[in-house]
Structure 1
Amino acid sequence: MTTPEPGGGPLLSATGLHIAFPGRRGAPTARAVDGVDLDIKGGEIVALVGESGCGKTTLARSLLGLVPPTSGAVTFAGRPLDYAGRALKAYRKRVQLVLQDPSGSLNPRHTVYEAVAEGLRIHGYAGDERAAVAEALSRAGLRPPDRFFLRYPHELSGGQRQRVVIAGALVLEPELIVADEPVASLDASVRGEILALLLRLRDELGLSALVVTHDLGLAWNIADRVAVMYLGRIVETGTVEEVLTAPQHPYTQALLSVLPEAPGDPVVLTGEPPDPSRIPGGCRFHARCQVLASGEAERAGVAGRCRGEDLAVLSGRGETQVACHWAAAGGAP
């Protein structure tokens, strides 16, 4: 099975994905992912952006095969994801996870060599293990690699530890990595280095990536395409330039308004995101929407629809799309 070429069909695709968790002691079911279509092409970096609790990590874990969907499907290279043990193990060799906290994802008792070689041993690698580990460390920017073989995580800087985690993913030669807040725990001086590394891996290896983040500035620096998630659904998607320079959804506008370089005053959203076990009717953002609160939606004639009419799930394809009655009515700039 070959990886789809950039610009061709999707490498990874989610269609109609729903993930629900039963409540305890009769509490309502939490709809963590509530209808998502998302495509990632070969050689493409997609940023999945949103506040904490919006369902980003649950969606990412489902795409990795760690959380089976309640309904809907995940396909990889045109084939449905098989959750049987052997098939899932083979899939996880091709799709690797990079966690946000390198200190928490590295065993403090294992050397760098052992940490990177672990995946090879799990998957029964029959080649030259030492050469594979050295190549992965080198690709991750730890050179000369043999200088790091016998070092322990506590002997490394935060950036070096994150590079070890990335090397542990690269050693299996995956086609896609899922990076969950890959630079959130790093100093600002190191973040740019790790982002540059991910871009270089995309360019040199044709590696695809889903980068999960709350940081739109990070998305601007690394992504080809961005998907903005709110309360279990993607509410706006498109190329990073289109979405971040001309956002149409009020939620995206609010997220962008707090960036240091953003023009005008920050938009302060009232309250916390609603409970996923009690998703409101109509647009799921309407209770916090600054456009509705200011009367702009009323003037555009869509306030009633905002409060009472649900919006369709956006397609996972690459074109710019927005789930917003006000934007659809021409209210967005």
Structure 2
Amino acid sequence: MSAEADAPGATDATAAPVLAAEGLEVAFTGRTGRSTARAVDGVDLEIGAGEIVALVGESGCGKSTLARALLGLVRPSAGRVAFRGRGLGYRPRELKEVRRRVQLVLQDPTGALNPRHTVYEAVAEGRRIHSGSTADEEEHVAEALARSGLRPPERFFLRYPHELSGGQRQRVAIAGALVLQPEVIVADEPVASLDASVRGEILQLLLRLRDDHGLAALVVTHDLGLAWNIADRAAVMYLGRVVETGTVEEVLAAPRHPYTKALLSVLPEAGAGEPQILAGEPPDPTRIPGGCRFHPRCPVLASGAAQAAGVAERCRSEDPGMLGGSGAAAQVACHWAHAREAEPTG
């Protein structure tokens, strides 16, 4: 077996993903019923066992809605969510079983923790709901706290959220997920509210959980630097759809989509030269542009490079399509990128 296959986070390409979105769409109808916002507009995405996938993009691009759909918190209008190859059912008993094995960690641990509950109660609550038993409860709570980096765990049992630092509160929130021994964690901006010194500690914790316990994770973030430091694969989302996906090295070291290039250009460590400032705001999801949905803001189209490549009209009129969910190869939804790669070399 190759060293690459033995590396932490490596997955068998033939194995069924632990969690997957298949042609997923989530739409919200306005109060008047006259407009429909396509928050998630046809997404294929897979998370393999022991793999960390970063879902990146601007605020409002549909990342959090997609994450909640994967957890069964939002019901899709089309497509399906699959856990271990089996379609997610929406009856209470079916959802309860999946939510025990796929846990959510929220951005703001302060809001996620009940200020009247001790740390012990906060961590034990999920297990009580899902198991209906308190047998060996203290042992499981202590183990979850220890795995989340709060040691000795007994020292934290009777403390309240206001007595903890921001990093400790986030660790308690993670322990509340770990106590159920899940297979996947969906972490929505898990370090956005933390100081820089604490962010690294939480990211190292997620990496240890992957390496030591085989835990898979979907990390939702707007921060490409975070994705570079933690993820095995990255999926870049724009206006409800994944527009580029591949390994972190493929997507962040050699981006192909103009949107990914623009996001990376503002990172000092990326060495991308002058930052690319995208024109305007992302379009209204109730009025998604025709053609490539990024074309009204695309610097490649605006500069004339798409015209020179002979694809400008296609950018304005032809949808580049939906990317497949497999992580086997890098993919990009961009006419210009495909035209460049089709050019003869030498």
Unpaired stretches in structure 1, ≥5 consecutive residues: none
Match of 2:321 in 1: 312
Residue matched to 2:69: 62
Q: Distance in 2 between matches of 1:91 and 1:49?
A: 24
Give the deviation of 1:331 after TM superposition: 6.4
- AA in 1 matched with 2:298: C
Distance in 2 between residues matched to 1:238 and 1:114, nearest whole Å: 40
Is the partner of 1:312 in helix, strand or coil?
coil
Distance 2:223 2:342 in 1: 22
Partner of 1:224: 232
Q: Which residue of 2 aligns with 1:266?
A: 275
2:294 to 279, 285, 300: 285
Q: For residues 66-215 of structure 1, what are the structure 2 equivalents within 5 Å?
A: 66-126=73-133, 127-215=135-223
Q: CA RMSD in A?
A: 1.3
Q: Distance in 2 between matches of 1:168 and 1:215?
A: 25
Aligned to 1:326: 336
> 2:107 & 2:165 partners in 1: Cα distance?
15
1:231 deviates by: 0.2
**C-alpha distance in structure 1 between counterparts of 2:42 and 2:279, whole Å:** 25
Q: Partner residue of 2:5?
A: none
Q: What is the TM-score with the length of structure 1 in the denominator?
A: 0.97
Structure 1 Cα separation of the partners of residues 222 and 263 of structure 2:
9
Distance in 2 (alpha carbons) for counterparts of 1:135 and 1:6:
27
Q: Deviations over 1:258-311 (max 9, x none)?
A: 001232100000111001000000000000000000000000000000000011
Amino acid at match of 2:44: D
- What is the CA–CA distance in structure 1 between the aligned matches of 2:192 and 2:342, rounded to whole Å? 31
How far apart in 2 are the matches of 1:22 and 1:320? Answer: 34
The residue identity in structure 2 corresponding to 1:231 is: L
- Per-residue deviation at 1:25? 1.3
SS at match of 1:261: helix
Q: Distance in 1 between matches of 2:68 and 2:153?
A: 31
Distance across 2 between alignment mates of 1:135 and 1:159: 18
Q: How far, CA to CA, are the matches of 1:58 and 1:37 in structure 2?
A: 14
- List, as ranges, runs of 4+ consecutive aligned residues in structure 1 with deviation greater than 3 Å: none
Q: Deviations over 1:105-151 (max 9, x none)?
A: 00111000000000011112543000000000000000000000000
Determine if the alignment matches structure 1 residue 294 to structure 2 residue 303: yes
Q: Name the % identity.
A: 75
Paired residue total: 329
2:16 is matched with which residue?
A: 9
Instruction: Determine the C-alpha separation between the residues in 2 that align with 1:332 and 1:213.
Output: 32
Structure 2, unmatched stretches of 5+, are 1-9
TM-score normalized by structure 2?
Answer: 0.93
Check conservation: 1:47, 1:225, Cα contact below 8 A.
Answer: yes
CA distance in structure 1 between the aligned counterparts of 2:101 and 2:129, rounded to whole angstroms: 13
What letter corresponds to residue 322 of structure 1 in structure 2? V
